Structure 1
Amino acid sequence: MEITIHSSAIVDEGAKIGKGTKIWHFAHICSGAKIGEYCSFGQNVFIANDVIIGSNVKVQNNVSIYDSVTLEDDVFCGPSMVFTNVINPRSHVTRKNEYKRTILRKGSTIGANATIVCGNEIGEYSMVGAGSVVTKNVKPYALIVGVPARQIGWVCQCGEKISFKYDYTECIHCKKKYILKNEFCQLLS
């Protein structure tokens, strides 16, 4: 499958883009970006040089992915969500050597207008609610909301909320089974 690039998009020479990826209106992909297969980048998306994006990633309109951000496979970034890359930005102080690495693990979802403060890891299949501000690492399968974001529960790989009566549960929607061990949710194989 061919790469689709809208005529208004800019893809700088040297960017690595996997097959089946779609880049829509007014997007800009910098030359050092590495993008996997079957991704979709909405209108006004910006992807910087030091960015690694896995396969089947969906980035909705008006998202800028700055240097030092990694998105693993199957990540979803909602409309107008925000990444940062410096903890203490100042216009008059250059801090490009102080960028903090941010990583979104496989299958994680970031809701519309949420902010991910740099230097944090968003756990696999976790879900960050719309408008939340993430200031610390997020556990795998965690459901977090608020400003600052705090955990209010757990979500299944299918995206539905799950709850634990004991240390074991099964998703009523997809029947995947989970165990709660040492305050971490784990998928049972």
Structure 2
Amino acid sequence: MIHESAFVHESAFVDDPSEVGPGAKIWHFSHILPHTKVGENCVLGQNVMAGPHVTIGDGCKVQNNVALYKGVTLERDVFCGPSCVFTNVLTPRAHIERKDEFGETRVKQGATIGANATIVCGNTLGAYCMIAAGAVVTRDVPDYALMAGVPAKRIGWVSRAGERLAADLTCPRSGERYVAEGDTLILVED
């Protein structure tokens, strides 16, 4: 079902049964496979493939040339940079069928994935984390973590606004304050 206020470019395909929410935009040469949900006000750029059985939460932006395979869940307000990669099997071989081994990958609310980053299946990316362009994520990522490198390592923290946090853990854009407890960052609610 495609909501009447959604836009699907004439070169894109949306297979039944799928759901495209109000205000969503699906651009050139994209393909939404069956049993996939695209939330409200999402934008899927050119040549995006999603599904089958993928959930894209409200407000997500998926840039050009991204494939979201079965088992990928994007919570609300996730940004996927151009050509970022989600794997679906840990040890693929062309001559061995492994569709029953697809790993679940969850990307939590507000996370950002940079261009050409690779997310190895079976991992969870924490809320509001930021994955640097070209990074390779091989393990779970904490909330608010700034990850870079191959394999990706935490090199700092970012705020909900996406600003890198200095030692005082105060967002320079919003003024929100955070506290670190070990390898966890927590927003201080005033």
Give the TM bin, normalised by the shorter chain: over 0.9
Q: Distance in 1 between matches of 2:165 and 2:7?
A: 37
Q: Distance in 1 between matches of 2:136 and 2:103?
A: 16
1:180 is paired with a residue whose SS is: strand
Alignment of 1:1-189 (within 5 A): 2-165=5-168, 169-189=169-189
TM superposition shift of 1:182: 2.8
TM superposition shift of 1:106: 0.3
Contiguous gaps of at least 5 residues in structure 1: none
TM superposition shift of 1:101: 0.3
Q: Distance in 2 between matches of 1:111 and 1:187?
A: 23
Deviations 1:121-153 (A, max 9, x none): 000000000000000110100000011111100
4+ runs deviating over 4 angstroms = none
TM superposition shift of 1:183: 2.2
Q: Distance in 2 between matches of 1:3 and 1:181?
A: 43
Q: Distance in 2 between matches of 1:94 and 1:63?
A: 23
Could you tell me the TM-score, scaled by structure 1's length?
Answer: 0.96
The alignment yields a C-alpha RMSD, in angstroms, of 1.0
Q: Distance in 1 between matches of 2:158 and 2:36?
A: 31
Contiguous gaps of at least 5 residues in structure 2: none
Larger CA deviation: 12-21 vs 76-85: 12-21
Which amino acid is 1:174 matched to? Answer: S
Larger fraction in strand = 1
Q: Distance in 2 between matches of 1:33 and 1:138?
A: 25
Could you tell me the TM-score, scaled by structure 2's length?
Answer: 0.95
Q: Distance in 2 between matches of 1:42 and 1:183?
A: 34
1:162 is paired with a residue whose SS is: coil
Contact 2:34 2:53 in 1 (8 A): no
